[in-house]
Amino acid sequence: MNNSLIIIGKGLLDNKPFMDYTMRNLEEQIGQFDSIKILNKNDNDFFIQLEDCIKKFDQTIILAHSKNYNFVNKIIATLNEDNLELKDGMLIPKKTVVYSNNSYLLEFNTKTINVLSITENENLPEILLGGEKNSKTFTIIDIDIDSIALLLEPICTTYEVSIDSTPIVEGWISVRATAYKYGDLDNFIKAVKSLFVGKFINTQNTIKYIINKLEENSKKITAVESCTGGLICSLITKEAGASNVFDGGIVSYANEIKESWLGVDKTILQNYGAVSEFCVINMLEGALQASKADFALATSGIAGPSGGSDEKPVGTVFVGVKQKGKDAVVQRLLLKGDRRYIQIQSAFYAFKMLLQDNKKLFF
């Protein structure tokens, strides 16, 4: 079964926080979309484009801004040879199967459509469309994408499943498995788990998985960040349950803060600089002392677009992890992309290192 998303109102895309919230909720319930189409009701071929999008996919969610909702409902009714009817204050197609406030579900020939009226700064209406039953996304760490494809090929054949993989960062692969008509997705997942012992995470939300494992083992984590500017802390605290494992972190952007708040040795900053393995080791030690956590993550680097040198070009980032009572593990990375993408990669690389360095706890 394939899913599509149609967004009506190109202006909605300008409100990134609202659209991030909307997409996050849709993907949690529906999964990944095979197609995302942006339409404007003033487009000359709007009617044709809408019909074409609906006909191509088994399930479609249509997001219409509240000011366009009645217009969209009229178009949907016309396409489906239907009329509008007033139901609980909403003017929606008569053939509607089920509805709730600002959301309705109907059958369009052999297709299923869920139309939602959305408004900025308001809760998303109830999603009435069911999620994908023949698809599952999971995570595999500590192995490259080509090896995953090679190792999974015979299993895919056995259980009639196809996969699409993408590297979040090096050694952190997100894999989407989709079963064919007679495929066996459940036993495929079991086979993958058996094959990748100590590497397999049965969810796409790896950070939530980390939080759950820390809570199960009564462990806490902290982060001390320079180039990522609090992104690691944000990624942790956006997940429910974060307060059970995370008390706080430190954004030590300036060298003076690294020295005064974390106890980074001044001679290290003078001789090696803030973007160095030795600085990150000191940052990790200071973070554990300041927080009394069991684990610490740290980043220090040059996210750009300026600040690089021949010795340390833009994209140079030192990422570290340390468990209380054990030596720190630090890696030097040379990342590509713009400032934001380098920051995001650095943060995710820190979580990957945490998993790699503590397999007994997390797997």
Question: Which residue spans of the chain are classified as CATH 3.40.980.10?
Answer: 3-118
Assigned architecture for domain 3-118: 3-Layer(aba) Sandwich (3.40)
Q: Can you give the pLDDT at residue 32?
A: 84
Extract the residue ranges of the chain whose pLDDT is less than 70.
1, 131-133
- Measured between alpha carbons, how far is 121 from 359 in angstroms, rounded to an integer? 41
pLDDT digits (tens, 9 = 90+) for 269-284: 999 999 999 999 999 9
Q: Return the bridge partners of 8, or none.
A: 39, 64
pLDDT digits (tens, 9 = 90+) for 177-203: 999 989 999 999 999 999 999 999 999
Q: Can you give the pLDDT at residue 135?
A: 86
Question: Which residue spans of the chain are classified as CATH 3.30.70?
Answer: 135-204
55-58 long-range Cβ contacts below 8 angstroms, 24+ apart: 55/109, 55/111, 56/4, 57/2, 57/3, 57/4, 57/111, 58/1, 58/2, 58/3, 58/110, 58/111, 58/112
Which spans in the chain are helix H?
Answer: 16-30, 46-56, 69-79, 145-159, 185-195, 206-216, 231-237, 255-262, 266-271, 277-291, 339-357, 359-362
135-204: in CATH 1.20.1250:
no
Q: Can you give the pLDDT at residue 132?
A: 63
Q: Specify the residue for token string 């290290």.
A: 268
Work out the number of other CB atoms within 10 angstroms of the CB of residue 10: 13
Question: Which residue spans of the chain are classified as CATH 3.90.950.20?
Answer: 207-362
Q: Can you give the pLDDT at residue 133?
A: 67
DSSP 246-292: B---EE--SHHHHHHHH---HHHHHHT-SSSHHHHHHHHHHHHHHH-
> What's the CATH number of domain 207-362, 3.40.50.300, 1.10.357.10, 3.90.950.20, 3.40.1370.10?
3.90.950.20
Q: Can you give the pLDDT at residue 95?
A: 94
How far from 158 is each of 139, 148, 188, CA to CA, in Å? 21, 16, 8
